[in-house]
Structure 1
Amino acid sequence: MRVWAFIFACIYLNISGQHYTSTWHNIDNGLPQSSAKAIVKDKYGFIWISTENGLVRYDGSSFITFENFRVNNLHFGEFIGDPLLDSITVLNNFQENKIIIKNRFPRLASLTSGDKMTFSNGTDILYRIANNIITSDFHSDIQYFIQLKNSVYHFTEKNAIIYKEGKKEIKIALPFTNKDLNYIFVLNEHLFINDLKKRKTYSIYKGHLSVSDKPTLFNHPDTKIYWQQITNQTFIINHDNIYLLEGNEKDLRLKFLVNFEEIGNHSYCSMFYDKNFNKLYLGTLNNGLNVLQLSNFYVSKKEADFSNNVYFASLPFSQSTIIAEDGTEFGRNGIVNKHLFGSNDNYLMMYDNSGNILIRKRNSIIRFYKNSGYKKKDSIFVKKGLETFMKSGNLYGTTFTDLSGTQLYLHKKDMFAQPDFTYTFKSFVNVFFQYSDNEILTGNSDGLYSVMLGSNTITPLIKNIHVKSIIKTKDNLIWITTNKNGFYLFRNHKLIKMPNDCNNYLQSAHYILEDQKGYYWISSNNGMFKVPKKQLLHYAEDKKTPVFYYRFTKKDGFLTNEFNGSSEPNAYALENGDFVFPSMDGFVFFNPESVHSYYPERSKIYIERVKVGNAEPQYFHQLLELKNDYKTADVFIDIPYFSNLENLYIEAKISGKENTEWEKIAAGKELKYTISNLSPGEYTLSVRILISPDGKYEEKTIRFKIHPLFYQTLLFRVSASIIILIIIIIIVQLTTNFLRIKNKALKQIVHNKNSELKETSLHLEVVKNNLQKETEYQKKLVETISHDITTPIRFIAMLSQKLHESDDVELQKKYFDSIYKSSEQLYQFTLNLKEYTELYKAENIFEEKEYPINRILEIKNRLFCEIAKEKGTTITNLTEHIVYSQVNESILTAIIHNILDNAVKNTFEGNITLNITENPQKSTIIITDTGTGMSAEQIDIYMNLFRNPKQETPSFKGKGLGLHMVIHLVKKINAEMSFRQNQPKGTVVEITLNKN
């Protein structure tokens, strides 16, 4: 029984309050009537509001009113039922009708006795409690009851409560009156009753009572309780602080939501907290609906009248605070302390190496000493024209401006000493950054520059932009922000322009901070942006990669969308995890871990409504059918999204008979895609919605059909085409018959003449072809014979000359012998000249009987051996056995003759070998020499010539006559030929003959 020691153990958690922005909705901007009597969220994510003039569905952008029920009474009351079971029920006044909300649509349903809220029990009236609104009145002459899942609690008499479960009935005695119903709530079948006078809390479960006399917020005299059964939410309101009950019946915990001072200013009668979007909905009886966007952004500023809350310079001061140039120390909840810094310039602040704070005051620098608690200070006059002082790496920098330009002084130790480096620029120097030990970057009013220390080398990296800041994030990436030119990634001495947001607000980006989860937070002149770092880096590699920015605005808790920017670091990540950015109205504090970005849920995107022309919207399922006389059709995209609509990325396209590219759908009061000017046919509408910061889309498709007019149908077109075709055929047939009779005789004459001319033409063509072939054949024959006998005759001529010149009898005898053998072989060759006449006009490339290829090699060996011997070359036949072939012997003889001829011509003091290898399918003739050989380029030329699929007759004029002829003949007998270099020198020629 005594479970209270730990039930309320965590009830007074000291949780920091959230700021909020308030938005009112009433009859002027969406509601059909200025009452919001009950609020509930269905399983699909839509908010439903019960009003005195219909039911309203809210998706975060638009209100849809349902009032076209077949009832006369549209005054609706409390919601009952179970949203998780897709069953929400509401009755109208006097319990006349019942509406059930199911599958995102309300419809009229049959009313049963179990649905009623009020019953008559003889002379007594029983009233069901489904909630206890803040301003509710419970009368002593009415009996009330709470209906649970399987049981009922009856409040029927004073000082007693009756618990009923089936036939079981338990009477619980405790000091209780109907007025105490204002302070009850139910949690998981447990009934809690609070006695504010005695500061007690009673808990009843299944008829068993537990009592706690521990003072809590639940039984505080100034507490008001709002409980709604259908949402299972209980709110505690105490001194304008609104809490939400969390936990379970054994671990009651209160989550502080907001301090709302206006809670008592209006007749609030309904409450609902949407934890998914951190929003609190407050419904009133006569002022509409107030939506509080609870914010984790904290704006810290001076609250005094006429205070200037525009700060350009600040410094992190403690783990959770910053300090401004006037000495004001700010934390997330406001001013923490005020240090007496006096009046100084508000653009420059800096820590020196000792932790002292430096602030500029005209041409002097004021230094506040850390060891004095920043109470003691001194002033140092630097130089007339002092504009800025900065620090980067281990370098201090000061700039001085006059009419001639800007001088940048760099100091290694102390900015008040003699500068180590001095550089002059025509433009104003906003910031410098130490890139390496011997290089700095300067951001100027006209561009970005690279400066090499110790030299006068100043290299412009980009011109015509106004550089605002050079930022090195904790991942060691360098970013450049500009005024009206966006921001850049600086990598490998190159600037990579980052894409802008859809509204180009990032054209004036100020500063960048990186959080622990890899997101960049970027302040601008119009809002705060959050973007995944990896998307920017992917874009730097591939400009086609999309980048999705998430924008935070005043709706999320700022006082202004405009943030401040300066050349000095003006945004900080504090040690406690908070980020701080200066705005034009105070400093914005927030912890990036607690600020959420919201995206639509994958399963909660619906395309089911269409508005054709000016008609009322109607519902469809999967297939949308449009009549042929439609002008426009607005297809609505229903997404329960209760955050800034600018962060919705929705695109749509049409495919089918006509196609469109993806186009962005503008976020407004209604999310819709308009179909217009499409020809009849079947189409598919595809809609994709960004559902995560990683760039993941959810795509939905619907099919729609535009019906054609009767003359646009396929049947009409086919019928019309057939009729027109028949008419044309009839006209053509009649005309043809008339002309056929008239021209019949003339056609016969022309036919006869054509036949005679065709015969004459064919005869002349045959004669012409025969003459052309004969001429070509004779030409090739002469060229071939001339080529083949050139080498032997030249050799005989050479030996005859040597015989004439020699007086040595033995040598003369040797020459005579060579001349005789060569002449004999030449004679034998000329005896076979008849065979050459068959080389080119032979159609049969195979012999009837097989013959030995060895015979050809031996004959050619004898023909060229004396010629080769004269050059100191030996010809060796390595064939070990007889190989037969049926390839035309004359053609093969001519091929081997030319290849051996080329080998003898190009081999000196070397060897030429002849060989034949075979397998069941092929025989290969291999001729290898050790001569000068063919170059790789020559081999490629002849092999490409061989691979040419067109068997053109080669020209045998000029260089390469023999090989051109050989290639032609090898192709003629369907053989394969290859050349390769012999090692260490010479050429190997292989001719592969197919046996089949």
Structure 2
Amino acid sequence: VTDIAIDHMGFVWIATQDGLNRFDGKDFITFPGNFDDITTPTSNQLGKIICGENNKLWLITRGGKLESLDLFTQLGSVHKKIRNQLLNNVSCVYQDSNHLFIGTQQEGLYIFGKQPAHLKKLSTAVPNTLLSNEIKSVFKDSRQQYWVLTSDGVTRLSADLRAAKSFLHNESETIRASAIAEDETQSLWLGSFGNGLFLKDKDSETFRRFKGFEHMSFPDTLVIETLLADKEGRIWVGTFSDGLYVIDKKKSVIHHLLADKNDPFSLGYDDVLCIRQDSRGGIWIGTDGGGVSYYDNRLSSFETFSADNLPANIAIEQVRAITTDQENNTWIGTAINGLTVLGKHPAEIGNYKKIGALLTDRNGDIWVGTQENGLDILDGRTRKPIKKMLPGQTIWAMLEEGNGSVWVATRQQGLYKVDKQYGELEHFDEHSNPAIAENNVRTMAFTRDSLLYIGFDKKGIQLLDTKKKQLVPVSKNIPSIFNGSVLIRSMYYTPAVLWIGTFGSGLLAMETSNGKITAITEKQGLRNNTIYGIQPDGLGSIWLSTNKGLCRLRIPSAPEMINRADMFAFTIEDGLQSNEFNTGAHYRSPDGRLFFGGIKGLTVFDPSKLSRREQPLPVVITQVLTDNQPLHTDT
């Protein structure tokens, strides 16, 4: 990728040796064209894309040929001459509302004004203008001054293009300028071929070599291909063979990013030829061999733990249960590799193989519900067993009530109320009095300490008065909504609505006052109809884990607004462990972080710090069909 440009409509244009590509966020369209890709430690000759005036895209194609593309008609033109001026070996183009600048590889700089007669040429033949005829770039700063980068320093032109002053030119050292950027403080950053990075502060009249910060140096021999000053005040430095540097002046920190074949989220290649920022803050990075890398700071809002970033002896695929202890360690139960603790000292715990549920009680002890091996209680500090109960059983869910007792939902054995000290206190199954609907209990939700919603695998929901020992069916309306049984996987209670996650039937919202049920499915905008987990964020939303990522649903102010609830989706492209999550693998820690586990690991984030930008995307009409045939028009 030799260059990237983003036009006023939001399309991303990408130049490669094999052609010109337009990306609309979903699909690519390829246009004919070939672009130079020549890089050395002392110079480069790269194809370029420049967004010009009047819906025009300027292209510098192979051999320094100047072309243009009309963004509306998509018709291209070759420009051997402009106003009878022959153009050879074009190296750069810059256009503003008043002038068109065309730099060449050997003949200096041409400046075309609005009027046909307005043509100015700057070269070494014109006294007190340029020090070299090899033009690398033209840049206009916020003070309306023009900067011309050459193979022998940089020249500043005034707004009227008359006064000129040269910088970084001396007999002892030749500075071959390569790229320039202006940050939010009006300081200028200048990159070079082999001489590193230079900085000119706002009120200074000299460029000084940037050597880094007090405790973090910056190499002064880098071959810099491209620069970007982003909207956050950081400077992105793309280099020849040394990857990408990101300079954060506010924090006095320098990040060095390199390609890593073992990290799918690393830089694509260590030769970085161009860097651009789109209107939403995303950074597009063109590399010489690794395609385009894309960075968006919303991706860093999600922290992922998987085989890609954990020691080889720590395996957390197929996460089934999550909790945290009083020392802020994260306990992860999996369906394959047992129980793991992530923290200062990651470790596997005990000889567990299959975990179904985890819970941290009010005293800090860890309850470990296994698959086919019962319930263990571990000391949260020493991680040693305290008590073992319900041998041979599979635990699907656990919920602590106000007095410290824990309700345990099982497969095929019904519902238990247990106490850490006294063991089993109560047992409810199909044959107890009162009898529950079925012995496969998937999930539970308290309304208040004495009222417990019980979600069954296939037979709906019952409400248990834990003091009076009375059961009330509350889900008689559920089967009437769908053909066949509804498989319940998760529940979350709010005073007005009980939210019910199902396997394949979407999200059900049951009004607690009258039992009315509203279904939210893919037809209403849900990304997927399988809801493995429901977790509140404490900010007025619930988060749903599915087979197609996470969905945040804003809880409506009134039940009658449920059908119009605001939903927003997040996928693996946003930094999730994968798009597929698992039943039971969801948790909210005391500090407000949300945890969701899936087939490839664990995703953790603080919803209050989630920085996803939710402004509406621009809509661009690219084609109109009449009778399934393209409509061609001049307007």
Would you call these one fold, judging by a TM-score over 0.5?
Answer: yes
Amino acid at match of 2:560: E
Are the structure 2 counterparts of residues 510 and 210 from structure 1 closer, same or farther at C-alpha, using a change threshold of 3 Å?
Answer: same
Amino acid at match of 2:621: I
Report the Cα offset of residue 300 of structure 1: 0.5
Are the structure 2 counterparts of residues 101 and 178 from structure 1 closer, same or farther at C-alpha, using a change threshold of 3 Å?
Answer: farther
SS at match of 2:8: coil
Report the Cα offset of residue 413 of structure 1: 8.0
**Matched ranges for 1:763-778 at <5 A:** none
Is the 8 Å Cα contact of residues 483 and 509 (structure 1) preserved in structure 2? yes
Paired residue for 2:317?
A: 309
CA distance in 2, matches of 1:154, 1:531: 51
Is the 8 Å Cα contact of residues 240 and 261 (structure 1) preserved in structure 2? no
Are the structure 2 counterparts of residues 516 and 542 from structure 1 closer, same or farther at C-alpha, using a change threshold of 3 Å?
Answer: closer
Report the Cα offset of residue 449 of structure 1: 1.1
Superposed CA offset, 1:32-61 (max 9, x none): xxxx42211122212123355664432112
CA distance in 1, matches of 2:384, 2:447: 35
Paired residue for 1:605?
A: 619
Is the 8 Å Cα contact of residues 406 and 424 (structure 1) preserved in structure 2? no
Paired residue for 1:5?
A: none
Superposed CA offset, 1:575-633 (max 9, x none): 554321011111111233325265544xx323363356787673454xxxxxxxxxxxx
Paired residue for 1:462?
A: 475
Paired residue for 2:519?
A: 498
Paired residue for 1:99?
A: 68
Is the 8 Å Cα contact of residues 227 and 234 (structure 1) preserved in structure 2? no
Is the 8 Å Cα contact of residues 368 and 377 (structure 1) preserved in structure 2? yes
Paired residue for 2:481?
A: none
Which of 210, 215, 220 aligns to 2:212? It is 215
Amino acid at match of 2:104: T
Paired residue for 1:187?
A: 182
Are the structure 2 counterparts of residues 185 and 141 from structure 1 closer, same or farther at C-alpha, using a change threshold of 3 Å?
Answer: closer
Report the Cα offset of residue 419 of structure 1: 3.5
Paired residue for 1:485?
A: 505
Larger Rg: 1
Paired residue for 1:269?
A: 273
Superposed CA offset, 1:790-823 (max 9, x none): xxxxxxxxxxxxxxxxxxxxxxxxxxxxxxxxxx
Report the Cα offset of residue 336 of structure 1: 5.2
Is the 8 Å Cα contact of residues 368 and 375 (structure 1) preserved in structure 2? yes
Are the structure 2 counterparts of residues 49 and 102 from structure 1 closer, same or farther at C-alpha, using a change threshold of 3 Å?
Answer: same
Amino acid at match of 2:499: W
CA distance in 2, matches of 1:279, 1:213: 23
- The yes-or-no answer on 1:78 pairing with 2:48 is yes
Paired residue for 1:236?
A: 237
CA distance in 2, matches of 1:218, 1:275: 32
TM-score normalised according to structure 1 size: 0.47
Paired residue for 1:61?
A: 26
SS at match of 1:618: coil
- The yes-or-no answer on 1:356 pairing with 2:365 is yes
Paired residue for 1:299?
A: 304
Report the Cα offset of residue 399 of structure 1: 5.8
Are the structure 2 counterparts of residues 105 and 355 from structure 1 closer, same or farther at C-alpha, using a change threshold of 3 Å?
Answer: same
**Matched ranges for 1:424-463 at <5 A:** 424-425=435-436, 426-436=438-448, 438-445=450-457, 446-453=459-466, 455=468, 457-462=470-475
Q: Which has the higher helix share?
A: 1
Report the Cα offset of residue 416 of structure 1: 0.7
Is the 8 Å Cα contact of residues 155 and 178 (structure 1) preserved in structure 2? no
Amino acid at match of 1:49: I
SS at match of 1:116: strand
**Matched ranges for 1:318-333 at <5 A:** 321-325=329-333, 326-330=338-342
CA distance in 2, matches of 1:126, 1:245: 32
Paired residue for 1:410?
A: 417
Amino acid at match of 1:77: G
CA distance in 2, matches of 1:62, 1:439: 52
Amino acid at match of 2:237: I
Report the Cα offset of residue 127 of structure 1: 10
Is the 8 Å Cα contact of residues 499 and 547 (structure 1) preserved in structure 2? no
CA distance in 1, matches of 2:166, 2:550: 60
SS at match of 1:440: strand
Which of 583, 594, 604 aligns to 2:610? It is 594
Is the 8 Å Cα contact of residues 520 and 531 (structure 1) preserved in structure 2? yes
CA distance in 2, matches of 1:82, 1:254: 35
**Matched ranges for 1:626-637 at <5 A:** none
SS at match of 2:462: strand
Report the Cα offset of residue 315 of structure 1: 0.8
SS at match of 2:442: strand
Paired residue for 1:530?
A: 552
Report the Cα offset of residue 310 of structure 1: 1.3
Are the structure 2 counterparts of residues 120 and 368 from structure 1 closer, same or farther at C-alpha, using a change threshold of 3 Å?
Answer: closer
SS at match of 1:555: helix
SS at match of 2:603: strand
Paired residue for 1:553?
A: 571
CA distance in 2, matches of 1:585, 1:230: 36
Which of 147, 152, 161 aligns to 2:138? It is 147
Q: Report the aligned-residue RMSD.
A: 4.7
Amino acid at match of 1:465: V
Structure 1 unmatched runs, 5+: 1-35, 129-139, 622-996
CA distance in 1, matches of 2:254, 2:496: 40
Is the 8 Å Cα contact of residues 527 and 562 (structure 1) preserved in structure 2? yes
Are the structure 2 counterparts of residues 546 and 589 from structure 1 closer, same or farther at C-alpha, using a change threshold of 3 Å?
Answer: same
Is the 8 Å Cα contact of residues 226 and 234 (structure 1) preserved in structure 2? no
Are the structure 2 counterparts of residues 60 and 336 from structure 1 closer, same or farther at C-alpha, using a change threshold of 3 Å?
Answer: farther
Paired residue for 2:121?
A: none
Is the 8 Å Cα contact of residues 374 and 390 (structure 2) preserved in structure 1? yes
Paired residue for 1:841?
A: none
Are the structure 2 counterparts of residues 307 and 494 from structure 1 closer, same or farther at C-alpha, using a change threshold of 3 Å?
Answer: same
Are the structure 2 counterparts of residues 388 and 605 from structure 1 closer, same or farther at C-alpha, using a change threshold of 3 Å?
Answer: closer
CA distance in 2, matches of 1:448, 1:377: 34
Q: Which has the higher strand share?
A: 2
Are the structure 2 counterparts of residues 450 and 39 from structure 1 closer, same or farther at C-alpha, using a change threshold of 3 Å?
Answer: same
Is the 8 Å Cα contact of residues 135 and 151 (structure 2) preserved in structure 1? yes
Which of 69, 79, 82 aligns to 1:111? It is 82
SS at match of 2:350: coil
Are the structure 2 counterparts of residues 368 and 227 from structure 1 closer, same or farther at C-alpha, using a change threshold of 3 Å?
Answer: same
**Matched ranges for 1:933-972 at <5 A:** none
Is the 8 Å Cα contact of residues 518 and 532 (structure 1) preserved in structure 2? yes
Which of 596, 599, 609 aligns to 1:584? It is 599
SS at match of 2:529: helix
CA distance in 2, matches of 1:456, 1:54: 73
Which of 338, 343, 346 aligns to 2:352? It is 343
CA distance in 1, matches of 2:106, 2:192: 29
Report the Cα offset of residue 346 of structure 1: 0.6
Is the 8 Å Cα contact of residues 119 and 127 (structure 1) preserved in structure 2? no
Amino acid at match of 2:460: G
